[in-house]
Amino acid sequence: MARIHLTPDLSAMLDFDSVGSSITRQHRRAGGGRKHAIRRMAGEFHSETEWTLRNISTSVQAGESVALIGLPDDGREEFLRLAAGTLIPDEGVVRRKEIIIPMIGVVPALDRSYTFRQNVYIVGGLLGMTPNEVESKVDGIAEQAEIEGRLDKYLANARPIVRQKLAWSICMAVETRAYAIDQLLVVGDGEYRDHCWAALERKRAEGITFLVSSDTDEDLMRFCDRAIVISQGAIIAETSVEEGIEIRKALIPDSKRKRDKARVEEEDDEDYEDL
Amino acid sequence: MLRMLVLRDLQKTYTKLRLGYLWTLLEPLGMSIVLWLVFSVLLSRHIGQQPYALFITVGILPWWWFTKGIAQSTRSFKRNTNALRISLLPTQIWVLRVVLVSMIEFIFSLPIIVLAMILTRTMPSPLIILFPVAIFVQFLLMYGLGLLVASGVAIVPDLARIVRIAMRALFYLSPVLYSITKIPDHIQPFAAVNPIVGILGLYRIGFWSSEIETPWHYALSFGVILVIISVGFLVFKRLEPRILKGA
C-alpha cells in the first residue's frame, strides 16, 4: 500500500488543493496533399496538452454522500480516480484521510479466464484486502452476489449482470470508510436493486463517505446530500442535488466536446521469444 | 497478493499445455542441443570452456530467463490496464510479477544443468555456492531493467521493438556461447560493461575456475547493475503518473 499516501490528521475525508490533471494527445500530421506526405510517413507528431481538470479545490467531509454531476467525459471519472489515488495529479495536491475504494471500472478488471473465487482474491487484493481477509469473506461475497455453489466455475460464461453483481459485492465487502463510485451504485434488477439500496443505506448510516457519479438522477436524489457540478474540467457549482441536476440540464445544448475514448489496442500482443 | 498472482500465472502456463512442466525443460534443452551441435560438432571451434555441452547449458538457461522476463515486462503495464485502474497496490508489482514468474520457471529448468553434469561427468567445486548469489543478482538486474523498459514502453510503444532488437544484439555480445577469456585482449577490460558478463561469470565460477581470474569484470558488471537499478527506479517514479493516466 505504498502508493496511496494518507494524511490521518486531516479534518475532512478528502481535500483537493488546486488540482489539475491533463492528457497529452499526439496528432499525426493531418491534411492531404503531397506537401505533407513525407512528413506523414516519417510519423511527425505534434502534441497538445489538454486539461481534463484544472484548479479543482474542494473538500469532502467524513460521512457525506456527494453527487458528482456533469456531462459525459467532463472530468468526473478523473475526479474520482484522483480522489482514490489511482491517478496522480499533474498540479496541486490531493489529501485523503483514509483509503478510498475506487469503484471505477471494477467489472472490466474481472478476468474471464479465472474462476469466481480467483477473481474475488485478485480484485479484493487490488483493493487492498489481505488473502486472509478475503478467505474469511469469500462466502459472504458469494452469497451477496448470488453465486453460491458456482464459486469454482470459470467466469468466461457468466452473464454481464452476474459480473456486475460480483464486482459490486467484492467492493462492498472491503472494510473502508469511503467509496468513489462511478455508475455502479446499484446493480442487478428488481429485488436485487432493493437489496443493494439496503446495503448502501446501512453503510451510509454507519458514517461511510460516498462520492457518486451517476447519470441516473433518481439515484442521486435518493442517496446524496449535496452535489458538485463539474463542467469542462472545472467546478461550476456546489449546491443541492436538485439544483445540480437543473444546472446540468441547462448545460446540455452548448456542450459539443466529445472525446474519443476508444483505446488503441496494442497490435503486437503475441508472445515471442528472442533467441 | 503478489504470491497469488505469480502462482496463478504458473498454474495457467502449466495447465494450458499437454506436456505442462516438461516444456520448461524441453525448450531450453532443445536450444542447448542445437547450439552444441553447431559449435562443437559441426564447426568444432573451441570458443568456450570444456566440456562445452555443460558450458552452453549454464549460459543458455539464465539467458532464457533474461529474455523471457524482459520481453514480458515490456507488456506488463499494457496488459494490466484494467487492473491498474482499480489497483491500490504499488504499481511495480506488475513488473515484479513477470520477473518472478520467469525466475521460477528458470529454477524449474535447472535439472537440465544437472543432466548435463551427469552426461559430461563433471563435478562442481565448492564455489558452486555462488550460483544462488548469481540468481539473486540477475533478479535485481531484471527488476531494474524491467521497470525501465516497462515504463518506457508505456509512454513510447515503439520502444518494445527496439528492446527486441537490443536483446538479440545483447545475446551475441554476451558470453553465452563463448567464454569471456576468448575475446581479444584489447577489448577484455571493457567487456564487463555488459552486466551479463558478471552474472554468467558467477554462474560458471563453480565449474571453471579460470573465470575467477577476472575480479575487475565482476566489479564493473555489478557497478553497471547498480546503475541500471537506480535508473530504472528513477525513471519509473518519474513516469508513474503518466503510466496511470494511460490505464
Instruction: Give the integer Cα–Cα distance in Å for A212 and B64.
Output: 48
For B71, the closest of A87, A131, A274 (CB atoms) is: A274
Q: In this predicted structure, what is the pLDDT of residue A53?
A: 83
Q: Residues of A numbered 72-131 whose beta carbons fall under 8 angstroms of chain B's beta carbons: which are they?
A: 81, 84-90, 99, 101-106, 108-109, 113-114, 118, 121-123, 125-128, 130-131
Ramachandran assignment for A128, one of left (phi > 0), alpha (psi -120 to 50 degrees), beta (any other): left
A244 has a pLDDT exceeding 90: no
Q: Considering only CB atoms, which chain A residues are within 8 Å of B71?
A: 272-274
**Residue B36's closest CA among B47, B27, B20, B26?**
B47
Please give the pLDDT value at position B65.
Answer: 92
CB A55 within 8 A of CB A18: yes
Tens of pLDDT, residue by residue over A169-206, are 888 888 888 888 887 777 777 788 888 888 888 888 88
**How many other CB atoms sit within 10 Å of the CB of residue B233?**
16
C-alpha cell of residue A198: 439496503
> Is pLDDT at A102 greater than 50 in this prediction?
yes
Substitution target from B86, B97, B109 for chain A, most A beta carbons within 10 A: B86
Which position has the higher pLDDT, B146 or A2?
B146
Task: Report the 10 Å Cβ neighbour count for B193.
Answer: 13
What's the helix, strand, coil split of chain A in %, to 5? 35, 25, 40
Beta bridge partners of A56: A19
Q: What is the pLDDT of residue A213?
A: 86
**Residues of A with CB below 8 A from B64's CB?**
275
8 A C-beta contact, residue A47 and residue A201: no
Are A56 and A214 spatial neighbours (Cβ–Cβ below 8 Å)?
A: no
For range B75-94, the mean pLDDT: 85
Confidence of residue A271 (pLDDT cuts 50, 70, 90): very low
Instruction: Give me the total of CB pairs closer than 8 Å, taking one residue from chain A and one from chain B.
Output: 97
The pLDDT of residue B232 is 93
CA distance from start to end of chain A? 37
DSSP helix/strand/coil, A16: strand
> Which of A124-133, A236-245, B99-108 shows the highest mean pLDDT?
B99-108
DSSP state, residue A115: B
Each residue's pLDDT tens digit, B18-27: 666 777 788 8
B226: pLDDT strictly greater than 90: yes
Could you tell me whether strands A65-70 and A91-96 are parallel, antiparallel, or unpaired per DSSP bridges?
Answer: unpaired
Cα separation, B53 vs A2, whole angstroms: 46
A264 or B82, greater pLDDT: B82
pLDDT bin (cut points 50, 70, 90) of residue A261 is very low
Query: A39-71, pLDDT tens digit by residue?
Result: 666 666 667 777 888 888 888 888 888 888 888
Spatial separation of the C-alpha atoms in residues A130 and A267, rounded to whole Å: 35
Per-residue pLDDT, B18 = 65
Q: Is the pLDDT of residue B176 over 70?
A: yes
pLDDT at A212 over 80: yes
- Beta strand segments in B68-134, E: none
Banded model confidence at residue B247, pLDDT cuts 50, 70, 90: low
**Residue B1 pLDDT more than 90?**
no
Residue A149 clears pLDDT 80, i.e. is over it: no
Give yes or no for residue A262 having a pLDDT over 50.
no
∠ at Cα B235 (A75, A76), nearest 5°?
Answer: 5
Q: Which long-range contacts (CB under 8 A, 24 or more apart) does A137-145 make?
A: A137/A173, A140/A173, A141/A166, A141/A169, A141/A170, A141/A173, A142/A116, A142/A169, A144/A169, A144/A172, A144/A173, A144/A199, A145/A169
CA distance B1 to B7: 10
The per-residue pLDDT for A256 is: 44
- What CA–CA distance (Å, rounded) separates A234 from A57? 9
Instruction: Taking residues A243-259, report their average pLDDT.
Output: 66
| Mean pLDDT to the nearest integer, A249-254 | 70
Q: Residue B76 above 60 pLDDT?
A: yes
Residue A127 to residue A123: CA distance in whole angstroms = 6
Q: B62 by DSSP, 3-state: which?
A: helix
- The percentage of residues in chain A with a pLDDT greater than 90, rounded to a whole number, is 0
| Whole-angstrom distance, CA of residue B84 vs CA of residue A84 | 12
CA B122 vs. chain centroid, Å, equals 24
Residue of B nearest to A108 (CA): B82
Q: Give the confidence band of B16 by pLDDT, cuts at 50, 70, 90.
A: low
- Cα B47 to Cα A247: distance, rounded to the nearest angstrom: 78
What pLDDT is attached to residue A110? 85
Task: Compare A42 and B145 and report the one with higher pLDDT.
Answer: B145
Which residue spans within B92-174 are E strands per DSSP? none
Q: Over range B188-193, report the average pLDDT.
A: 76
Interchain contact, A274 vs B164, CB within 8 Å: yes
| Domains annotated on chain A, with CATH | 1-26+43-99+178-254 (3.40.50.300), 105-175 (1.10.8)
A238, A226 Cβ separation under 8 angstroms? yes
Q: What is the mean pLDDT of residues B171-191?
A: 79
Give me the mean pLDDT over the B207-226 stretch: 80
Mean pLDDT along residues B107-130? 86
Residue whose C-alpha cell is 495457467: B12
Is the pLDDT score of B135 beyond 90?
A: yes
Mean pLDDT computed over every residue of chain B: 84
Beta strands in chain A (DSSP E): 14-28, 45-60, 65-70, 91-96, 100-103, 178-182, 209-213, 226-231, 234-239
- Which range (A8-22, A196-210, B143-157) has the least confidence? A8-22
**Average pLDDT score over residue span B53-69:** 89
Mean pLDDT in residue range B130-158: 91
Does the structure show a pLDDT above 50 at A260?
A: no
How confident is the prediction for chain A on average, in pLDDT?
A: 77
Q: How confident is the model at residue A151 (pLDDT cuts 50, 70, 90)?
A: confident
Q: Which residues in chain A have Cβ-Cβ distances shorter than 8 Å to B168?
A: 274
Q: Where are the domains of chain B?
A: 21-246
Q: Nine-digit cell at B181?
A: 577469456
List CB contacts of B121: < 8 A, sequence separation 6 or more.
none
